[in-house]
């Protein structure tokens, strides 16, 4: 009978140890669950922050694209105006050249200049 009592005591002791281990395991798992929830909340907040930052970046890119479009259209207008202005300047230079030749013919400046050169030599 003693042997049976010793066996039962050993089994009881083993069950007690197992119960203690299970309680420790439960505490550890509970702690891990809490840490996991905390990490989940932090990650969730970070994802929301990242989404917000990306939305701001997208908005800034859209603004930059609008500004670049405005600048491009202004450059196109300036290019067109410059091209037509150069044409106008060319026409005005042609008319000035015609007027100068008329003045030269009227005043005989070129002929007088050539005559002066003859006296110089």
Note whether 104 and 110 are within 8 A (CB): yes
User: Tell me, what's the pLDDT at 91?
Assistant: 76
Domain positions in the chain are 2-86
User: Tell me, what's the pLDDT at 60?
Assistant: 95
The sign of the dihedral angle between the CA atoms of 76, 81, 85, 88 is positive
Walk along the chain (121 residues) and give the pLDDT tens digit of each residue: 888 888 989 999 999 999 999 999 999 999 999 999 999 999 999 999 999 999 999 999 999 999 999 999 999 888 887 777 777 777 777 787 777 777 766 766 677 777 777 776 5
Question: What does the alpha-carbon distance between residue 88 and residue 79 come to, in Å, rounded to a whole number?
Answer: 14
Residue ranges of E strands in the chain: none
Question: What does the alpha-carbon distance between residue 72 and residue 5 come to, in Å, rounded to a whole number?
Answer: 97
């Amino acid at each position: 009978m003693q042997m049976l009592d010793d066996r039962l005591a050993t089994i009881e002791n083993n069950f007690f140890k197992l119960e203690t281990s299970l309680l420790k395991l439960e505490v550890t798992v509970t702690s891990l669950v809490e840490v996991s929830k905390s990490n989940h909340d932090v990650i969730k907040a970070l994802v929301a922050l990242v989404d917000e930052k990306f939305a701001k970046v997208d908005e800034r890119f859209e603004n930059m694209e609008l500004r670049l479009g405005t600048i491009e259209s202004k450059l196109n207008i300036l290019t067109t105006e410059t091209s037509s202005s150069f044409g106008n300047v060319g026409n005005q230079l042609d008319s000035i050249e015609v007027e100068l030749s008329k003045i030269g013919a009227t005043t005989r400046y070129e002929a007088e200049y050539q005559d002066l050169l003859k006296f110089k030599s």
